[in-house]
Amino acid sequence: MNVACDWAFPLVWAQQSELDSIPWLKWIIVLAVVFFGIFPGIVAYTVWGERKVAARFQDRIGPNRVGPLGLLQPIADAIKLITKEDLVPRSADRWVHLIAPVLILVSAFLVLPVIPFGVGLAAVNPPSGLIYLIAVSSLSALGIFLAGWSSRNKYSLLGAMRAVAQLVSYEVPQVLSIVPIILWAGSLSMVTIFDKQVLYGWFLFSPPGMLAFVTLTIANIAEVNRTPFDLPEAESEIIAGYHTEYSGMRFGLFFLAEYLSVFAVSCLGTAIFLGGGTLPWPLTGEPVVTLGGGETLFAMLLLNLPLIGIFMAKVSLYIFLMFWIRATLPRLRVDQLMAFAWKFMVPLCIINIFISAVWYECVIRPSKPNYLLGWGVTLPLVVVSIIGVLALYRSSMKAEPVELTTGSRRRSVVRSVS
Amino acid sequence: MNQILFGVIATMGVLSALGTVLARNLVHAGLFLVAFFFLIACQFVMLEAEFLAAVQVLVYIGAVAIILMFGIMLTRNIQGDDTTTVSRAGFIAGGLAAVGLLTVLIFGITHEEGRSGRPAWNSVTTRPAIYPASARKSESQAAAINNMGLAVGEDLLTRYIVAFEAAGILLTAALVGAIALAIQEGPVSDDPSDRVKSKQNAESLAADEAESLLTSSRA
């Protein structure tokens, strides 16, 4: 299987160079079609999908008035948002108020160019793409902070405070659960990570890989401020958090950025753990191996259409998982949120890096991968470390009953203010 | 093309640095500083060091700027918009000190001489290293550019290992010190307005503190 893949790569790269010979055309296509057309469209229908899914979970029907199945609802919403008045509060810091949503949206957009949607379909392929991705996604914390600060509203400021504390805390486990991938792929380039997964199978299919995938998913949900981590915009406590004072399309930009980040983190999880556009285990090399031949534009399309289709199917599943969690779990308290990040996620992720090094020694470094040994050694290690960290976390939470009282008191303080 | 780009980026960098110093509102000054950090990252890209550019954005904008903003909000009044005023005498003294430092730096760098007959520091390419140079893999400049993460990582863990570890110990000590300062030992106070929490994590303490500070100042 792995040997069979080797011949495919020179051919695949040859196709890439054909498109590279017309870089300006490629850039115009990428910018105009994908970034201004497809991604906002995906966002619009993610919102529609979320409303439908959430409605089904609550035994409702969801949007069904505008167009068949309510499919035109996002367009109606967008028109409504654009025609609404764009207000800036009189006491707000005008320029910072205007810049903040743009900064968040730019951060969400900048993540997407390095995602390899297919062979040769990453808009740019910097050798340190993963670091770039983490760097630009950390810009959104600044935008959220500025949005909350510039509004001159206590709810906005509260939301911004919560958001920044949460984003900074959960960025640590997010990055730490990416580290095993860097170790296994031996590269920071997203395209190289995709190619390695074609050769070695999805990085998900190993005990440390599964653990890292779960921690990455939890950290991702926290990073995009979705329930159960939606404290920054908790409607029942602080109105809408950092975007309370925004209206019209400027609020729409926050909305767009939020769902675009949902899409972006799903793309990240798919690209680095779920093998991008490849099929699961017995057919890992497909469809790259079978369709890898040929150097024409037609062959490239033939190869990439199934790749993009599978990629998008995985991304949809990942987003659906987020909807599911949102419809199921209640919101956490601030102290629970922080304790969970620092006392459970971070130690577990650090231990997992060592376990993934064991997996690397058993499976990836030897010329003949020994999967049985790898599973036999790392699976007990993963189970023991999860149980151990969980027990430590439980005992540390039990030893501090004072935290419970402060948390409930804090909520009552907030309530009395509002 | 590169010259023009460099000129534009450098000019914007100097302007935002000036903005950092001259802005009266602290959060605006912080924003100018973020712009300056970003333009430094642009200069790294111009030097084909995109790894360093990404790290610059990650560390300085993603972490340092955020901590800075937090610091402004926790230490001064919560909106951070009390405009600071500088007396004229302080302005003149600060300006003189800055010009003096600039003169010393320019003179020192351009007129630097080697110690005891050796060539000047900025004209040699080899740097003192713990790890013998012969044992290192000889890597071309092109390889370093194409996989800068690898090159930087290898250098950090071989050539600059002492500096790297020293910085790590220093940062750990700072972290432990911060937590030791933040923890308030002793029993929980009966006064409900007193926010005493024993043995709580420093980060959650910071977040809680910010919130309770905010609520108490607004209530």
**pLDDT at site B100:** 95
Which among A128, A339, A414 is the nearest to B148, CB-wise? A128
Q: At A399, is the pLDDT very low, low, confident or very high (cuts 50, 70, 90)?
A: low
In this structure, are residues A140 and A329 in contact, taking their beta carbons and an 8 Å threshold?
no
Who's near B8: CB < 8 A, 6+ residues apart?
none
User: Where along chain B do its domains lie?
Assistant: 1-83, 160-219
Tokens of A345: 């996620």
Nearest to B66 among A131, A136, A145 (CB): A145
d(CA A248, CA A256): 12
pLDDT at A12: 43
Residue B208 above 60 pLDDT?
no
pLDDT value of position B195: 43
Residue B200's pLDDT band, with cuts at 50, 70 and 90, is very low
CA distance B115 to chain A (A): 39
Give the gyration radius of chain B's Cα atoms.
Answer: 23
A106 close to B (CB below 8 A): no
Chain A residues with beta carbon closer than 8 angstroms to that of B208: 334-335, 406, 410
Give the residue from chain B lying closest to A166, CA to CA.
Answer: B207
Which stretches does DSSP call E strand in A143-301? none
B149 touches chain A (CB under 8 A): yes
Which of A132, A161, A332, A404 would best serve as a mutation to test chain B binding (most B beta carbons within 10 A)? Answer: A161
Mean pLDDT over each residue of chain A, to the nearest integer: 79
> If you average pLDDT over residues B167-188, what whole number do you get?
82
Name the most confidently modeled range: B7-16, B22-31, B117-126. B7-16
Residues in chain B with CB shorter than 8 Å from the CB of A165 are 203-204, 206-207, 210
pLDDT at A397 > cutoff 90: no
B51 → closest Cβ in A128, A154, A402: A128
d(CA A92, CA A413): 25
Q: What mean pLDDT is predicted for residues B32-53?
A: 87
Our CA dihedral for A67, A70, A76, A81, rounded to 10 degrees, sits at 180
Helix (H) or strand (E) holding B218: helix B202-218
Does the distance separating the beta carbons of B51 and A154 come in below 8 Å? no
The mean pLDDT of A402-415, rounded to a whole number, is: 46
Between positions 377 and 406 of A, the ones with CB within 8 A of B are: 400, 402-403, 405-406
Helix axes B65-75, B26-46, angle to 10 degrees: 170
- Would you place residue A289 in the very low, low, confident or very high pLDDT band (cuts 50, 70, 90)? low
- Cα nearest neighbour of B57 on chain A: A135
What residue segments make up the domains of chain A, in order of their start? 2-333
Taking an 8 Å cut-off on Cβ atoms, the answer to whether B79 and A152 are in contact is yes
- pLDDT bin (cut points 50, 70, 90) of residue B217 is very low
> What pLDDT, on the 0 to 100 scale, is given for residue B216?
44
**Residue A23: per-residue pLDDT:** 66
Contacts for A405 with CB less than 8 Å, ≥ 6 apart: B188
Token pair for residue B110? 């351009």
Q: How far is B182 from chain A (nearest CA, A)?
A: 16
pLDDT of residue B39: 92
DSSP code, position A90:
T
Cα–chain-centroid distance for residue A126? 19
Q: How confident is the model at residue B191 (pLDDT cuts 50, 70, 90)?
A: very low
Which residues fall within 8 angstroms of residue A137, CB to CB, at 6 or more apart?
A107, A108, A111, A223, A261, A264, A265
pLDDT band at A213 (very low <50, low <70, confident <90, very high): very high
Q: Do B50 and A164 touch (CB under 8 A)?
A: no
Highest mean pLDDT among A16-25, A259-268, A357-366, B116-125: A259-268
pLDDT band at A285 (very low <50, low <70, confident <90, very high): low
Nearest by Cα to A141 from A174, A159, A168:
A168
pLDDT score recorded for residue B99: 94
Q: Given CB atoms, is A142 within the 8 Å cutoff of chain B?
A: yes
The better pLDDT of the pair A203, B116 is held by A203
Residue A418: predicted pLDDT: 39
Higher pLDDT: B101 or B148? It is B101
Which residues of chain B from 1 to 60 reach within 8 Å of chain A, CB to CB? Answer: 25, 27-28, 31, 34, 50-51, 54-55, 57-58
Q: Are B13 and B43 in contact (CB under 8 A)?
A: yes
Compute the average pLDDT of residues A123-139.
Answer: 85
Q: How far apart are CA A288 and CA A360, in angstroms?
A: 24
**Are A127 and B58 within 8 A, CB to CB?**
no
Mean pLDDT of A94-119: 85
User: Which of A138, A338, A409 lies at the smallest CB-CB distance from B207?
Assistant: A338
Question: Residue A415: its pLDDT value, please?
Answer: 44
Q: Tell whether the model's pLDDT for residue B203 goes beyond 60.
A: no
Correct CATH for B1-83 of 1.20.120.790, 1.20.120.1200, 3.40.309.10, 2.40.160.10: 1.20.120.1200
Contact with chain B for residue A417, Cβ under 8 A: yes
The band of B36, judged by pLDDT with boundaries at 50, 70 and 90, is: very high
Residue A417 has a pLDDT of 43
pLDDT at A4: 39
Task: Give me the mean pLDDT over the A308-333 stretch.
Answer: 87
Residue B166 has pLDDT above 90, yes or no: yes
CA A184 to chain centre: 20
pLDDT band at A401 (very low <50, low <70, confident <90, very high): low
Q: Please give the pLDDT value at position A379.
A: 87
The tokens describing A383, both together, are 């189970």
- Which range has the top average pLDDT, A38-42, A175-179, A200-204, B86-90? A175-179
Identify the pLDDT of residue A3.
39
Q: Which of B69, B149, B215 sits opposite A131 (nearest CB)?
A: B149
- pLDDT more than 90, % of chain B: 15
pLDDT in tens, A138-171: 888 888 888 888 887 778 888 888 888 888 888 8
CA distance A215 to A352: 10
Which has the minimum average pLDDT: A319-323, A327-331, A379-383, B192-196? B192-196
Check A131 against B31: CB less than 8 A apart: no
* Partner A contacted by B90 (CB < 8 A): no
Q: Which of residues 168-227 of A touch B (CB under 8 A)?
A: 168-169, 171, 187-188
CB of B210 less than 8 A from some CB of A: yes
Would you call A11 helix, strand, or coil by DSSP?
A: helix
Residue of chain B with shortest Cα separation from A107 = B62
Q: What is the pLDDT of residue B172?
A: 92
* Rounded Cα distance, A171 and A137, in Å: 9
Average pLDDT over residues A225-232: 78
- Cβ distance A400 to B219 less than 8 Å, yes or no, reads no
